[in-house]
Amino acid sequence: MWDISLADRRGIGYVYSSAHTDDARAEHTLRRYVDIQSNAEVEARKISFETGYREISWKKNCIAIGLSSGFFEPLEATGIMLCELGAVSLSNLFPWGGDIEIAARQFNELMRKRYERALDFIKLHYCLTERKDSAFWRDNVLSDSIPDSLQDRLLRWRHRPPSSIDIDANVDIFPESSWQYVLYGMGYKTDITERGPILKYHAEAREAFAEIQRQADFALKVLPTNRELLDAVQKRPIGVNA
């Protein structure tokens, strides 16, 4: 579910797997969330999509960029990033005076790897879940639903956290910090017991985390809500610096 507060409305949507629920139940869930089950004037729009990506995005003089090249799901904004990366790669590889097939092969290899890495990152959000309240969540932790490449990464990170050595800047669209946020936010445990003797800065780390928590608590007290901020921006005179 997403609920985005915009300047003059709220953008609310519900993403669901058609293999685990149907359209009627999905709309019921959405309407229950916004409490408009009896409001016939509010229309719920259904937007269907197929997940996946093309193995070959560039063939002869035709190039697929953006949604024509691939799409996974709307909750993680990989689509915009992959669209931009496709356009940049095309501008760099465009064969002004060379063989189009050579450029196409390199482009296809780059985009395929980018989609593979993005898929691993998105799947990480689901495959580590502890939820067992529905078939959707139970199915997402099955080993045969997890790509081999992601299973290999998880094995690496049993005894060390994700680091720059795991990232290829040419194909990874998320840095190691993003992998860490999701990995440990989902409760994954990296056992660094054997490395304990060389980790010297425990006290300093605890102080740093405590300071981060103090700053977060202060920010929650003084910052406006999203709606208050948008209202203030709308009322602010154009061209006036504050």
Residues of the chain scoring pLDDT < 50: none
* 26 phi/psi in degrees, rounded to 5: -65, -45
- Determine the pLDDT at residue 228: 87
Residue 238: per-residue pLDDT: 64
* pTM for the structure as a whole: 0.81
> In the Cβ-directed half-sphere of 99, how many Cα atoms lie within 13 Å?
4
| pLDDT value, residue 98 | 81
Q: How many residues does the chain have?
A: 242
The whole-number pLDDT of residue 36 equals 67
Task: Quote the CA–CA distance of 228 and 153 in Å, as a whole number.
Answer: 42
Q: Write the single-letter amino acid at 99.
A: D
Question: Residue 38's pLDDT is what?
Answer: 56
Looking at the DSSP assignment, which residues form a beta bridge with residue 11? 4
pLDDT at 40: 58
Q: How far apart are CA 68 and CA 193, in angstroms?
A: 47
At 216 the pLDDT is: 96
Alpha carbon distance 77, 46 (integer Å): 19
Dihedral sign (CA 165, 170, 174, 177): positive
| Record: fold of 52-194 | FAD/NAD(P)-binding domain (3.50.50)
DSSP codes, the chain: -EEEE-SSSEEEE----TTT--HHHHHHHHHHHHT-TT-TTSPPPP-----EE-S-SEETTEE--GGGTEE--SSSTHHHHHHHHHHHHHHHH--SSS-HHHHHHHHHHHHHHHHHHHHHHHHHHHHT----SSHHHHHHTSGGGS-HHHHHHHHHTTSS---GGG--TTT-SS-HHHHHHHHHHTT-----GGGGGG---HHHHHHHHHHHHHHHHHHHHHSPPHHHHHHHHHHSPTT---
- Give the separation between CA 193 and CA 133, rounded to whole angstroms: 33
